[in-house]
Amino acid sequence: MGKRICPRHARQQSRPVRHPRGVPPAVDQHAPDLLVRGTPLRPHRENVLRTHLGPGHRSFALTWGLGIEDDLAKVSHEFLDQTTRYWRMWVKHCSIPVLHQEEVIRSALALKLHCYEDTGAILAALTTSLPEEPGGPRNWDYRYCWLRDAYFSLTAFHNLGHFEEMEGFLKFLLNIAYTHEHSRERLAPVYTLSQDLPLPETEHRNWAGFCGSAPVRNHNQAAEHIQNDVYGELVLALTPIFSDNRFYDLRTKDQEQLVANLARLCDRTIAQPDAGLWEIRNGWQEHSFSNLMCWAGLDRAHRMHKAGFLPSLTLDLDAARARAAQALLNATKDGSLRNGPKDDTYDASLAQAAILGFPNRDVCETTMQSIARALAVQAGGKETGFYFRYLRTDDFGRPQSSFVICSFWVVQGLARLGRMAEAQQIMAQVLTGANHLGLFSEHFVPETRTQLGNFPQAYSHVGLINAAFAVSPSWTTVL
């Protein structure tokens, strides 16, 4: 096995210095850009090194700071054994559905690897700027934590029965709410691992990009957006504190005041223009998905209030919830929810109306039918189980590929409406899109079996987990 290594420092703005005999004594061992090698490397050309592992050689180490001082092969085997035992034990503590067990386990592992234990954050992806459209400009930095993902990720961990990851993420959300001065009036949609804002978004003009897809971006402008759905999603995410006794120690007056404030923000932002779920950079408008999440947040706050929580909340939750529902219904056409009252295009995110239990079943049914008809991706004249998130023109044109989690939302929505056979059929189709390791990126092209966008994508695997539980029968039916 051969390896070609081309180290770069300071985003290619400085040149590395090679020390063939290892780390010079005078060099700071904690320098962040210090590269140390644990096996012989042969210079190939300037700043490019090659190494080759021949028969019988199975260990190779590339690190920074202090190198591995013990026998490399011995240490490698010990680390591999420890790692294997850790992950097998972690999987043994997962709850899994009756159906699609291997896929759920793989997705659970992928989701866990996106968790940052120090702060509890869950990254959207571990990569930046892998293109959604090869050669196009849809290249984004996803190495951050989106508040929108909170509800979906926590639902996945709840289904998996992993309390520790849920608790860690809840504490991350609470820390953001308490430490940022702006949080009482507005929350940013996305934060770094250390709970800062990933700004400013920059482009590396001298980088070619993956498969020639430039620009390569660092940070994400979405942190500047107004996205009104996040308040409802945070109420949904915090609901377990008041419904699951395992979170009893988080059930404090401060948390009740936080949820009460989020409910007020839901009420305040009903029918207000924003960048929306898909983070449109120009032409903000009122979005049905944002109104749906305002309704859901107010609905859950209403349930908490009826259970005796949120005593400081003086908001008329019945009236606020009804106003949010009406704002949502104002965007219906031919009985189906549309993107907004001034935009009658279809949007796959509105499958969430059925999932969240929006009380107008006829609207939920018609919306699901419309999504399936208008946004389905076909290959060879046949349904593939994949869906466009929308087909309207945005900042960069019309989307060219399916958005993976939309398929899983359709599966969940159909299951919630009792259309289980359809849901299971689509689920089976979508699972064929995983790569040889069972992993998904953000986008998929069924006709060419091509995965696009940042990889692996936590959102896609969260969707898979939740959909698998939605279409599976209870264990009591098989045991």
Residue 347 shares a structural domain with residue 443:
yes
- The number of folded domains in the chain is 2
Residue 245 shares a structural domain with residue 303:
yes
Domain span including residue 286:
102-472
Residue 185 shares a structural domain with residue 300:
yes
Domain boundary, last residue among 55, 71, 87 = 71
Residue 384 DSSP SS3: strand
Say how far apart CA 388 and CA 393 lie, in whole Å. 12
Whether 81 is in a domain gets the answer: no
CB 345 within 8 A of CB 338: yes
Domain boundary, last residue among 71, 90, 118 = 71
Residue 55 shares a structural domain with residue 156:
no
Residue 121 shares a structural domain with residue 240:
yes
Whether 88 is in a domain gets the answer: no
pTM score of the predicted model: 0.91
Whether 92 is in a domain gets the answer: no
Residue 47 shares a structural domain with residue 144:
no
Residue 289 shares a structural domain with residue 215:
yes
CA angle 415, 420, 421 (to 5 degrees): 145
Residue 157 shares a structural domain with residue 288:
yes
Go through the chain and tell me how many residues it has. 479
Residue 142 shares a structural domain with residue 200:
yes
CB 262 within 8 A of CB 305: no
Domain boundary, last residue among 71, 92, 110 = 71
Whether 97 is in a domain gets the answer: no
Residue carrying structure tokens 């923000």:
265
Q: What is the pLDDT along the chain (479 residues), one digit of tens a residue?
A: 666 766 665 565 555 555 555 544 444 444 444 454 455 555 555 556 676 777 777 777 776 666 677 888 888 899 999 999 999 999 999 999 999 999 999 999 999 999 999 999 999 999 999 999 988 888 999 999 999 988 899 999 999 999 999 999 989 988 888 886 666 678 899 999 999 999 999 998 888 889 888 899 999 999 999 999 999 999 999 999 999 998 898 899 989 999 999 999 999 999 999 999 999 988 899 999 999 999 999 999 999 999 999 998 999 999 999 999 999 999 999 999 999 999 999 999 999 999 999 999 999 999 999 999 999 999 988 999 999 999 999 888 899 999 999 999 999 999 999 999 999 999 999 999 999 999 999 999 999 999 999 999 999 999 999 999 999 999 999 88
Backbone angles phi, psi at 420, to 5 degrees: -70, -40
Q: What is the CATH number of the domain that holds 194?
A: 1.50.10.10
